[in-house]
Structure 1
Amino acid sequence: MDGKIKMPNYGFKVVIPDEGSLTNAGFGKVAHVPVIFDSQPGYSRLPSRFLIDRALGNWDPRWRGVRLNPQPPSRVSMRNFGYWLCNALEWAEVRGIELMTADYATVLIARYQEEMLKGIWSSRGEPLAAETVNARVQIALEFQMWASDKGHRDPVMIPTSMHSYAAGSHKSSKSHEVKIVETRKGKVKVNKRLLTFPKDQEIKEWRDRIYAEPGVGETHGLMVDHILNTAIRREELACWRVDTLPLKPSDWKIINPSQPEEMQQIALEIQYGTKGREFYIDEFGDKVGPQGTIHVPLWLAKRIHAYRNRERLLALKHVTKGVRDLAKSRRKIDLSVHLYLNPKTGKRYTGAQIYEIWTKVDGPVHWSPHLGRDWWACQYLWQKMQEHAALTEQLWSITKSDVNHPLIRALRDTVQTVIQLEIKPQLRHVSSHTTEIYLQWLFNQLRVPLNLTRQWQEENDITEDAV
């Protein structure tokens, strides 16, 4: 050997820049934007420029650069755009195609899309999901549109068609209205997701195993209960501050004080780690997004309050370990603003770590924090349907499925009202497609008993007291 190391060719790749270094160098506005390098390797100028224009709102597929997009994509979206475009660029290079000028119908659809659907262009050799295929083709098409608007290629011709769908609306008496949208032809049809959940006993046993983990079980168990009973996202849980729930119980805003205590709810405002527009990244590394109001059961709020006055204080000892100066110790404690801290290290949890907590124990198949949000929504929906028992009883008299049957239409309107006015504000993002998924679940799962984690906790408490 001549002593030289032959570097493997990884093709196109996305590079996430060091924000701190770029900001200090005076490039703070673009410090968070992914960069694409080609297989030479070298800086891929036009694709990277496209990502910068998308990130800054200088160009988007709706306004085409005519006006500034007031809500540019979030950091997470920009990373996804970078990886999707990188995939399309690499495919084009391997196939000897110029992506920027490739024909939509004969190349992007008939070749790139088709190879992904057949598993030819797939790291595992398996067909890719429709959502993945559509996203990659779409970003490749947007890159072409941007290039056209910037004068790098001829105008792009995109065949489209018109479609109608039912969207939630506060203006309609039925809480929804029909809207018409223009979509591009050639998109892969996404099959309606059939929403199914593990059996109650399976979820209970999974939850018990999390609580049983030595040293961390109480903290991890409370975290999964937090998701299951409020439907917050794992990133929102990771960003939950120690004072998101007011420190004094006397400051808690109970929205239904006339109800029995076990039914009372507290209204809270959250904005850290929320989905949607990114306003900025705060000094603790959290995304500050759209503010939303969520409801937390009073019994869960009491458990959170007990945690921060007991287990969390013990975890904080790791933060001040070895620090003798009282002022420095207090400063370290003040910088630990997040509620949930690892009992073994005193460090905050990330969204990825919360996913690992959820999935690392032997749990039900396909059970995830995101599905936990759907589980909450369906359990809440079923509970509200108990108030319409007469209507659900009559549904059993229908001998065949008929979407225009008066009873089905009445149930659909009732469900959409509950979703629009009660479930959607808690989830803070429910599409018309999700509405249909919940409606289908209700038809499939009528008569399923409601079981929330508080009941399981009470059962465990009784067992422990007996021992």
Structure 2
Amino acid sequence: MNNQKSKLSYGYNITYLQPKALQAAGFGHLADQPFIFDSSPGYARLPNQFLIDRALGIWDPKGRRSSRNPMPPSRVSMRNFARSLCNALEWAEARDVDLITADYSTVLIGRYQQEMLKGIWSAENRPLKANTVNPRVQIALEFQMWAADKGLREPFHVPTVTRTFIAGSHKNSRSHEAKSVESRLGKAKVNKRLLSFPAISEIEEWRQRVQERPIVGPTDSLVADLILNTAIRREEAACWRVDTLPLDLNDWRIVNPEEPDEHQSVLVAIKYGTKGRQYGVDEHGDKIGPEGTIHVPLWLAHRLHAYRNKERLAALKQKVKRGKTVAAQQRLQQHAVHLFLHPQTGDRYTGDQIYTFWSRVQGPPHWSPHLGRDWWSCRYLEERMKQHAELIQRVLRMPNITSEHPMVLALRDTAQTVIQMEIRPQLRHASSRTTEIYLEWLFAKMRVPLTMTRQWAELDEDKASDEEAGE
């Protein structure tokens, strides 16, 4: 058994068993499954059976055993479920509460949730944010629902409320329709995220420091530039393959060849490490997620092409040298499918390593790969809106203009069209709440009054517990 414990210090701990041992015992399908051991320590039988049923799609909170879920949660989601459940189990043990039979309103909401929000139940005695609290309460509730379906407790009712929101589509920004979603009552309110970015000069100074790092600087800065100029996630950058950008330049799909070179972009399909449903794990350990198509600036595509034909080959030689025989060296070369390799070892970059180098070099406050993704989105929106300078200036010149003025509505619709038709397809899996955040950033920067509705965000808050994953 491989005792890989969660980084979170719980009395209940997460363990992953050795894949070979599971395979030999006929349980190879549980190779990536987290298991919980209690504070005794001992195997937590019921929590683990719940996690196994969730992982295999035998049970989920929507189907409630009426049908098997053909698309079970991803391994990242399962890890997050296990962490949240560990927290709830330890709290219940510390408070002498039976988590399976605990009342939703008085115990899960009135005590467990309130103690987290007040900082009574937190590692540093600080109030926890709603987006941390809600998934923990949700998984505890799902554990109870599973137990009820298994006959381990009496059936119970979860109070809910139905909310209506306006849904849009990145395929048609004008096709709005009203939809409804059912949400459980008692959820902690998520504070609205507000965006602010460092000055361009600060980002450039940070990037220069990354570039100047000994040995790894050129590769690190290329990874950073890929994120900042395409808005991909760090895990997607880590999973980027040698042939993600076609090896032959003749196979590059340039969408706007009539434009000057500096404005041209190449269409690239990515599916490894993408956020969303997990369709499998490949032989290299990468999640196979929903496939999406992104635009890569042509100038950046040429840099990636030059890297894989020079610096990457030099890094790969370092890895191949480890092989004791020709056959072993050939295997090492064949299994090196990722584009970004460490210059000294030839090992692939990981998402955690990308975050580490990003934050290791002293940069602006709160600067992270994820904020870099938002930075691309807002910069793109701002540049596209410059094409509508006349409309913007007319709005700004009008005194005491209201958010419902036809010109403000026209400006909002124009910005929303850019977000829906151009930014969201590039981001993939972007929520309606993100659309609202980008609009608010733009209008705050322009100092245009705008009252945004929270309706679009409500769906995403309710879906968070179903799609909880790491990013």
Q: Which residue of 1 aligns with 2:335?
A: 335
Q: Which residue of 2 aligns with 1:112?
A: 112
Q: Which residue of 2 aligns with 1:450?
A: none
Equivalent residue letter for 1:199 = A
- Structure 1 segment 155-166 matched on structure 2, within 5 A: 155-166=155-166
> Which moves more between the two structures, 39-48 or 347-356?
39-48
Change (3 A) 1:432 1:321: same
Asked if the contact 2:161–2:184 (Cα under 8 Å) also holds between the matched residues in 1, the reply is yes
* Alpha-carbon distance between aligned partners in 2 of 1:156 and 1:399, rounded to the nearest angstrom: 56
Q: Residue 391 of structure 1: SS of its match in structure 2?
A: helix
Q: Residue 396 of structure 1: SS of its match in structure 2?
A: helix
> Which moves more between the two structures, 169-178 or 194-203?
169-178
Change (3 A) 1:397 1:224: same
Q: Residue 276 of structure 1: SS of its match in structure 2?
A: coil
- Structure 1 segment 20-419 matched on structure 2, within 5 A: 20-169=20-169, 174-321=174-321, 323=323, 325-399=325-399, 402-419=402-419
Change (3 A) 1:324 1:139: closer
* Alpha-carbon distance between aligned partners in 2 of 1:370 and 1:444, rounded to the nearest angstrom: 21
Measured after TM superposition, the shift of residue 173 of structure 1 is: 6.1
Q: Residue 426 of structure 1: SS of its match in structure 2?
A: helix
Asked if the contact 2:58–2:65 (Cα under 8 Å) also holds between the matched residues in 1, the reply is yes
Q: Residue 167 of structure 1: SS of its match in structure 2?
A: strand
Tell me if 1:439 matches 2:439: yes
* Alpha-carbon distance between aligned partners in 2 of 1:402 and 1:108, rounded to the nearest angstrom: 43
Measured after TM superposition, the shift of residue 402 of structure 1 is: 3.8
> Which moves more between the two structures, 176-185 or 425-434?
176-185
Measured after TM superposition, the shift of residue 199 of structure 1 is: 1.0
Measured after TM superposition, the shift of residue 30 of structure 1 is: 2.2
Measured after TM superposition, the shift of residue 208 of structure 1 is: 0.4
Higher RCO (C-alpha under 8 Å, 6+ residues apart): 2
Q: Residue 180 of structure 2: SS of its match in structure 1?
A: strand
Asked if the contact 1:175–1:420 (Cα under 8 Å) also holds between the matched residues in 2, the reply is no
Q: Residue 105 of structure 2: SS of its match in structure 1?
A: helix
**Structure 1: gaps (5+ residues):** 1-8, 448-467
* Alpha-carbon distance between aligned partners in 1 of 2:398 and 2:433, rounded to the nearest angstrom: 25
Asked if the contact 1:175–1:417 (Cα under 8 Å) also holds between the matched residues in 2, the reply is no
Asked if the contact 1:119–1:127 (Cα under 8 Å) also holds between the matched residues in 2, the reply is yes
Change (3 A) 1:352 1:319: same
Change (3 A) 1:39 1:304: same
* Alpha-carbon distance between aligned partners in 2 of 1:357 and 1:418, rounded to the nearest angstrom: 32
Equivalent residue letter for 2:152 = H
Equivalent residue letter for 1:95 = R
* Alpha-carbon distance between aligned partners in 2 of 1:241 and 1:412, rounded to the nearest angstrom: 39
Q: Which residue of 2 aligns with 1:454?
A: none
Deviation readout 1:399-442 (Å, 9 max, x if unpaired): 45744332232222222222222111111111111110000010
TM-score (norm 1): 0.90
Q: Which residue of 2 aligns with 1:455?
A: none
Q: Tell me how many residue pairs correspond in the alignment.
A: 439
* Alpha-carbon distance between aligned partners in 2 of 1:216 and 1:173, rounded to the nearest angstrom: 43
* Alpha-carbon distance between aligned partners in 1 of 2:175 and 2:217, rounded to the nearest angstrom: 42
* Alpha-carbon distance between aligned partners in 1 of 2:68 and 2:415, rounded to the nearest angstrom: 38
* Alpha-carbon distance between aligned partners in 2 of 1:172 and 1:356, rounded to the nearest angstrom: 39
Q: Which residue of 1 aligns with 2:17?
A: 17
* Alpha-carbon distance between aligned partners in 1 of 2:228 and 2:321, rounded to the nearest angstrom: 34
* Alpha-carbon distance between aligned partners in 2 of 1:173 and 1:295, rounded to the nearest angstrom: 20
Measured after TM superposition, the shift of residue 394 of structure 1 is: 2.4
Asked if the contact 1:15–1:35 (Cα under 8 Å) also holds between the matched residues in 2, the reply is yes
Deviation readout 1:251-283 (Å, 9 max, x if unpaired): 111011111111011001111111111111111
* Alpha-carbon distance between aligned partners in 2 of 1:82 and 1:415, rounded to the nearest angstrom: 40
Identity of aligned residues (%): 61
Measured after TM superposition, the shift of residue 141 of structure 1 is: 0.6
Measured after TM superposition, the shift of residue 93 of structure 1 is: 0.7
Equivalent residue letter for 2:150 = K
Equivalent residue letter for 1:378 = C
Asked if the contact 1:264–1:298 (Cα under 8 Å) also holds between the matched residues in 2, the reply is yes
Change (3 A) 1:255 1:10: closer
Change (3 A) 1:64 1:322: closer
Change (3 A) 1:301 1:438: same
Equivalent residue letter for 2:438 = Y
Measured after TM superposition, the shift of residue 65 of structure 1 is: 1.1
* Alpha-carbon distance between aligned partners in 2 of 1:223 and 1:102, rounded to the nearest angstrom: 48
Asked if the contact 1:144–1:156 (Cα under 8 Å) also holds between the matched residues in 2, the reply is no
Asked if the contact 2:36–2:86 (Cα under 8 Å) also holds between the matched residues in 1, the reply is yes
* Alpha-carbon distance between aligned partners in 2 of 1:293 and 1:163, rounded to the nearest angstrom: 32
Asked if the contact 1:211–1:221 (Cα under 8 Å) also holds between the matched residues in 2, the reply is yes
Deviation readout 1:76-130 (Å, 9 max, x if unpaired): 0000000101100110110011011111111111110110011000000000011
Change (3 A) 1:430 1:401: farther
Q: Residue 77 of structure 2: SS of its match in structure 1?
A: helix
Cα RMSD over matched residues?
Answer: 1.8
Measured after TM superposition, the shift of residue 10 of structure 1 is: 5.6
Asked if the contact 2:35–2:82 (Cα under 8 Å) also holds between the matched residues in 1, the reply is yes
* Alpha-carbon distance between aligned partners in 2 of 1:415 and 1:10, rounded to the nearest angstrom: 46
> Which moves more between the two structures, 337-346 or 167-176?
167-176
Measured after TM superposition, the shift of residue 247 of structure 1 is: 1.1
Measured after TM superposition, the shift of residue 32 of structure 1 is: 1.7
Equivalent residue letter for 2:264 = Q
Equivalent residue letter for 2:294 = I
> Which moves more between the two structures, 400-409 or 207-216?
400-409
Equivalent residue letter for 1:409 = L
**Structure 2: gaps (5+ residues):** 1-8, 448-471
